Amino acid sequence: MSNTIIVGLQWGDEGKGKIVDYLTERSDVVARAQGGSNAGHTVISGGTKYILHLIPSGILWPEKKCVIGNGVVIDPLGLLKEMEKLRSQGVHISPENLLISEHAHLTMPYHCSLDKAREARRGVNAIGTTGRGIGPTYADKIERQGLRVTDLRDPDKLTHEITWRAALHNQELESAGFEKVNVEEVVAQIVAAAELLRPHIANTVVYLNEALAEGKMVLFEGAQGSYLDIDHGTYPFVTSSNTTAGGACTGSGVSPRKIDKVIGVAKAYTTRVGGGPFVTENEAISDMLHNMGREYGATTGRARRCGWLDAVLLNYAVMVNGCDEIAITNLDGLDGLDEIKICRAYLLDGKEINHPPATIPELERCEPVYETHQGWKQDLSGLTNAADLPPLAKTYLNRLAELAGARVSLLGIGPAREQTLVVD
Question: Which residues of this protein are in contact with ligand IMO, per CB under 6 A?
Answer: 8, 11-13, 38-41, 127-130, 132, 134-135, 223-225, 228, 239-240, 273-274
Q: Which of residues 403-422 bind ligand GDP (CB under 6 A)?
A: 412-415
Comparing CB distances to ligand IMO, the nearer of 105 and 132 is 132
13 is catalytic: yes
Q: What is the DSSP string of 181-212?
A: P-HHHHHHHHHHHHHHHGGGEE-HHHHHHHHH
- How many residues bind ligand GDP (CB under 6 A)? The answer is 20
User: How far apart are CB 298 and ligand IMO at their closest, in Å?
Assistant: 6
User: How far apart are CB 169 and ligand IMO at their closest, in Å?
Assistant: 17
User: How far apart are CB 106 and ligand GDP at their closest, in Å?
Assistant: 23
173, containing H or E segment: helix 155-175
User: CB under 8 Å to 124, separation ≥6 — which residues?
Assistant: none
Q: Choosing among Mg ion, ligand IMO, ligand GDP, none, which partner's interface includes residue 18 (Cβ < 5 to 8 Å by kind)?
A: ligand GDP
User: How far apart are CB 322 and ligand IMO at their closest, in Å?
Assistant: 20
Q: Which residue is nearest to Mg ion (CB)?
A: 13
CA distance 169 to 143: 13
Tell me how crowded residue 256 is: count the other CB atoms within 10 A of its CB. 12
Q: Which of residues 202-231 bind ligand GDP (CB under 6 A)?
A: none
Residue 417: DSSP 8-state: T
Report the DSSP beta bridge partners of residue 264. 7, 326
Largest CA distance in the chain: 66
Q: Phi first, then psi: what are they for 362, rounded to 5°?
A: -65, -45
Comparing CB distances to Mg ion, the nearer of 298 and 348 is 298
Convert residues 287-306 into a mask of x (bound to Mg ion by CB under 5 A) and - (unbound).
Answer: -----------x--------
13, 140, 332, 335: the catalytic one is 13
Tell me how crowded residue 261 is: count the other CB atoms within 10 A of its CB. 16
User: Applying CB under 6 A, which of residues 5, 7, 11, 13 lies at the interface with ligand GDP?
Assistant: 13
Comparing CB distances to ligand IMO, the nearer of 106 and 183 is 106
Residue 14 as a binder of ligand GDP (CB under 6 A): the answer is yes
Q: Choosing among Mg ion, ligand IMO, ligand GDP, none, which partner's interface includes residue 412 (Cβ < 5 to 8 Å by kind)?
A: ligand GDP
Calculate the CA 218 to chain-centre distance: 18
Tell me how crowded residue 150 is: count the other CB atoms within 10 A of its CB. 14
Q: Choosing among ligand GDP, ligand IMO, Mg ion, none, which partner's interface includes residue 415 (Cβ < 5 to 8 Å by kind)?
A: ligand GDP
User: CB under 8 Å to 177, separation ≥6 — which residues?
Assistant: none
Q: What is the DSSP string of 264-303?
A: EEEESSEEE-SSS--TTB-HHHHHHHHHTT--B-TTT-PB
Q: Which of residues 319-348 bind ligand GDP (CB under 6 A)?
A: 329-330, 332
User: How far apart are CB 21 and ligand GDP at their closest, in Å?
Assistant: 9
Name the residue among 60, 63, 139, 141 with its Cα closest to residue 104.
Answer: 141
100, containing H or E segment: strand 98-101
Tell me how crowded residue 62 is: count the other CB atoms within 10 A of its CB. 9
Of the candidate spans 13-21, 92-100, 131-139, 227-235, the one that interacts with ligand GDP by CB under 6 A turns out to be 13-21
Residue 35 as a binder of Mg ion (CB under 5 A): the answer is no
Tell me how crowded residue 375 is: count the other CB atoms within 10 A of its CB. 17
Comparing CB distances to ligand GDP, the nearer of 173 and 245 is 245
CA distance 141 to 132: 16
User: CB under 8 Å to 337, separation ≥6 — which residues?
Assistant: 288, 375, 377
User: How far apart are CB 150 and ligand GDP at their closest, in Å?
Assistant: 28
Residue 40 as a binder of Mg ion (CB under 5 A): the answer is yes
User: How far apart are CB 243 and Mg ion at their closest, in Å?
Assistant: 12
Burial of 191 (0-12, 13-18, 19+ CB in 10 A): middle
User: How far apart are CB 304 and ligand IMO at their closest, in Å?
Assistant: 8
41 is catalytic: yes
Residue 305 as a binder of ligand GDP (CB under 6 A): the answer is no
28, 41, 115, 200: the catalytic one is 41
Convert residues 35-64 into a mask of x (bound to ligand GDP by CB under 6 A) and - (unbound).
Answer: -----xxx-x--------------------
Q: What share of the chain is helix, strand, coil (3-state, %, to 5)?
A: 40, 20, 40
Task: Give contact residues for Mg ion (rule: CB under 5 A).
Answer: 13, 40, 298
Any idea which residues carry the catalytic annotation? 13, 41
Q: Which residues bind ligand GDP (CB under 6 A)?
A: 8, 12-18, 40-42, 44, 298, 329-330, 332, 412-415
